[in-house]
Amino acid sequence: MRDYRKFYINGQWVDPVTPQELEVINPATEEACAVISMGSEADVDLAVAAAKTAFESYGRTSRQERIELLEACVAAYQKRYNDIAEAIREEMGAPQTLAVGAQAHCGLGHLEEALRVLRDFEFEEDLGEHRVFKEPIGVCGLITPWNWPVNQIGCKVAPALAVGCTMVLKPSEVAPLSAYLWAEVMHEAGVPAGVFNMVNGDGPVVGAALSRHPDVDMMSFTGSTRAGTQVAQNAAPTVKRVTQELGGKSPNIVLDDADLEAAVTRGVLHMYNNTGQSCNAPSRMLVPADKLAEAEAIATRVSESVVVGDPASEDTTMGPVVSEVQFNKIQALIEKGIEEGAKLVVGGPGRPEGLEKGYFVRPTVFSEVNNEMTIAREEIFGPVLTMIPYDSEEEAIRIANDTPYGLAGYVQSDDVDHARRVAARIRAGNIHINGASGGYNVPFGGYKQSGNGREWGAHGFTDFLEIKAVEGFGE
């Protein structure tokens, strides 16, 4: 049982102002694996004050000083890599191979990428006799989710550190263990007191206090669209910058000239990655109507090959969903799909056979779905794929864009030029052709209700910078 009841404020581990505890549940066992404290507005005030004071000096550090700090962060993270992977497996049920190979790697990847970008980033630009400066925005409030916990911490903290900002992190209270280890990494790396602070808690209390705090200059939020709108509303009276990476209902267009076996296999496996708990998951597979039956057969074979079970086992390819709340939501949506007349191809309600405990969901595929059904409109955030038939390419593009979201899109074709033409017409922030995925240098973010701003790489620096023009600088 991990005891993570302290907060990290001003370079020290401190007790909450008002003690209030919460047990963290291991979703594979349904048993408590840790206890944390839930913060209050008073804890946020202390953390923001520390960040504000620290910004006076950290905001003026040199590029070389910040390079050396990020190098120390990389080294400290590498030492704790396996500990972080284990924490992610425990807190949100990621299979061992995913926790080690992808989840924990994200934190390291974003630190290394921020270091790479920082070495050559242009913080000044001359426009004739005038000069434009890109300066750190100040104190940043960072709110991160439970589904890719260290990824979202890393892609916010790393660029903020790189450009000279100070920050207060509120990780998800559902999966806070890896965040606690991240704070230990920051401490071991020698991040100056007050530059990085962490307060655990929930959105309505700690998140709201951060968002509306007059001394917070920017909010960076990742989570649901519903919660994101609340952050923006809380931030509005102080006119602070708000960037958001929110939900998605991403289309995966299998074009008529695609290798159907490869395209469907790739799409189904991607949907089950991280137990479907990814905002950019390819949850709507659009298939030519005359190939739907064949696509269903492929999806069934692939789904039946997925090994659901103990995340600690190297044989497991899909673990549980993160919580009882999430499990119940997914079960209700599966039932809704059946009720609305979608064809259940494989999977369905309940746990997989042989698993009586843990928040395990059956890998599920619906077919003969139309884009007005609930399972085609709402973000399920679980291992549930909807297959939507289409009669023409124009119809496929129309269906793909018929969503309030716009985080990602997927296009499958054996003719790359064909895929590129279709990709150009999808209104989403990240388009993947034939399963390609971007590196840490590729911007990540969405259109429409999937958010605003961009994270990752050099584009991820921009939201943490203010622009100052000094006229007559070169006279």
Instruction: Check: CB of residue 383 under 8 Å from CB of residue 364.
Output: yes
Q: 3-state class of 202 per DSSP?
A: coil
Q: Would you name the residues annotated as active-site residues?
A: 245, 279
- Give the H or E element holding residue 384: strand 384-390
Cβ contacts of 233 within 8 Å, gap of 6 or more: none
Looking up tokens 């939507």 gives: 388
Count of beta carbons in the 10 Å neighbourhood of residue 324: 12
d(CA 154, CA 320): 24
Q: Are 267 and 282 in contact (CB under 8 A)?
A: yes
**Contacts for 438 with CB less than 8 Å, ≥ 6 apart:** 430, 444, 456
Residue 463 to residues 8, 378, 412, 441: CA-CA distances in angstroms?
25, 29, 32, 15
User: What are the b/e assignments for 155-170, b being 16+ CB within 10 Å?
Assistant: bbbbbbbbbbbbbbbb
Strands 130-136 and 465-470: antiparallel
Exposed (0-12), middle (13-18) or buried (19+): which is 204, by Cβ within 10 Å? exposed
The Cα 108–Cα 114 span in angstroms is: 10
Longest dimension (CA), the chain: 77
CA distance 29 to 67: 42
Determine the 3-state secondary structure of 267 from DSSP. Answer: helix
Q: Tell me the C-alpha distance between 295 and 287, whole Å.
A: 8
The residues, any chain, with a CB within 8 Å of residue 456's CB and separated by 6 or more, are 110, 113, 155, 438, 440, 441, 442, 443, 444
The DSSP symbol for 61 reads -
For 93-112, b where at least 16 C-beta lie within 10 A, e where not — what string?
A: bbbbbbbbebbbbbbbbbbb
